[in-house]
Amino acid sequence: MNLDGKSKLSAKEWGPLGKEEGEVIIRDNEHLQGTLDKNQFGSSDQGMVHSFYEIYGSKKAGELLTSLARIFAVYLQEHGFTVGLDDLMLKPEANKHRRQTIEKGHQDGVIAAAKFAEMTNFKIQKMNYSNRVVYQSKKNYDKDIEKLTRSAIPDDPFDTKNVKKCVQADDPIRARLEEKIGQSMEMKESLEAEMDGLMKGTMSSATSKVLKDCIPDGLIKRFPKNNISAMVLTGAKGGVVNQTQISALLGQQELEGRRVPKMQNGKTLPCFLAFDPNPRSSGYVSDRFITGLRPQDFFFHCMAGREGLIDTAVKTSRSGYLQRCLIK
């Protein structure tokens, strides 16, 4: 069998010495060049298994898959394959850059909310919007802020002393949003949809920038030494989304294509203030799995996860019923 194909793993991942690794060449059943990954022995069109089936038939293609499975099993018994924390961690400078980008994204989000509230003269200040405290009621407001200013966040390049001012700076925007969205019941749905679109557009650019800077260039270990990257890039298991959620951030949580909806009182959760312009209050999660999620962010993530489970359950019953109708 002769075969010319492309591997799923791009040649640039191997660095300057692996320029030819993206092209798979097999001549007279001998593997001469390229990486054998999902594109070759997966269910992909014109891959190694597909070509083998076309030339030698189904029985031989089955034997090829059995042989490959045995080779892989023996290799793993000899060499092993494991993922450690250093496969998931970012370099200190990449982590600092990540924090700065997230903070800038939160500031842009608050500015976008101010524009939506028609506050053209609103000026943002250099403050800790991304780590802002949330509070149950106005009663503990000052105590909570004071407590946070004492405990500095280790990987945060911004000064936590400005948190109190930050919340006070948001108050006029909240009041204006409440006036604009909260008062007009007939326009409420369309106004909230308009604001969601504006905020999602603003925050998605911050998310993209974080992901571009952190994965894979910001990782401590690069492919081929990084086993998470090896799994994702070769198509063995997982995707880039899984890797970024572990190492960088979770990003905007969505329900039915919208941000987390507000309750009747204008809050998404009881611990946020009504019509809070901060992106975090509507499900933007800047935390990641390796360092853990804060309770509010964990709750938002569970909401999005639940929607996925319900979708799966509903689709299963509908497709099953449709199949039964067709068979009958």
User: Are 246 and 269 members of one domain?
Assistant: yes
Structure tokens at 111: 């500015």
Quick one: pLDDT at residue 200?
Answer: 94
Whether 152 shows a pLDDT value over 70: the answer reads: no
Rounded mean pLDDT of 226-243?
91
Is 160 in contact with 153 (CB distance < 8 Å)?
yes
* CATH code for the domain of 50: 1.10.274.100
User: Are 148 and 56 members of one domain?
Assistant: no
Residue 223 maps to a domain: yes
User: Are 154 and 272 members of one domain?
Assistant: yes
User: Are 70 and 101 members of one domain?
Assistant: no
Quick one: pLDDT at residue 146?
Answer: 57
- pLDDT of 13-40, one tens digit each? 888 888 888 899 999 889 899 888 888 8
Quick one: pLDDT at residue 43?
Answer: 85
Residue 307 maps to a domain: no
User: Are 278 and 225 members of one domain?
Assistant: yes
Whether 309 shows a pLDDT value over 80: the answer reads: yes
User: Are 118 and 171 members of one domain?
Assistant: yes
Note the residue count of the chain.
328
* CATH code for the domain of 129: 1.10.132.30
Rounded mean pLDDT of 239-247?
92
Buried/exposed 106-136: b ≥16 CB within 10 Å, e otherwise: bbbbbbbbbebbebeebeeeebbbbbbbbbe
Cβ-in-10-Å burial (0-12, 13-18, 19+) of 81 comes to exposed
Cβ-based neighbour number of residue 160 at 10 Å: 20
Structure tokens at 257: 């294509």
User: Are 104 and 204 members of one domain?
Assistant: yes
Quick one: pLDDT at residue 151?
Answer: 46
Quick one: pLDDT at residue 142?
Answer: 56
Residue 72 maps to a domain: yes
Residue 306 maps to a domain: no
Which domain covers residue 70, as residue numbers?
Answer: 3-80
C-alpha 174/C-alpha 193 separation (Å) is 17
Rounded mean pLDDT of 95-111?
92
Quote the number of domains for the chain.
Answer: 2
Residue 311 maps to a domain: no
User: Are 159 and 145 members of one domain?
Assistant: yes
Structure tokens at 33: 């060049």
Nearest to 113 by CA among 281, 272, 231, 315: 281
Nearest to 277 by CA among 42, 75, 117: 117
Q: Which distant-in-sequence residues (6+ apart) come within 8 Å of 109 by Cβ?
A: 129, 199, 202, 203, 206, 277, 278, 279, 284
Is 301 in contact with 293 (CB distance < 8 Å)?
yes
Residue 320 maps to a domain: no
Structure tokens at 22: 């993206």
User: Are 35 and 102 members of one domain?
Assistant: no
Whether 196 shows a pLDDT value over 70: the answer reads: yes
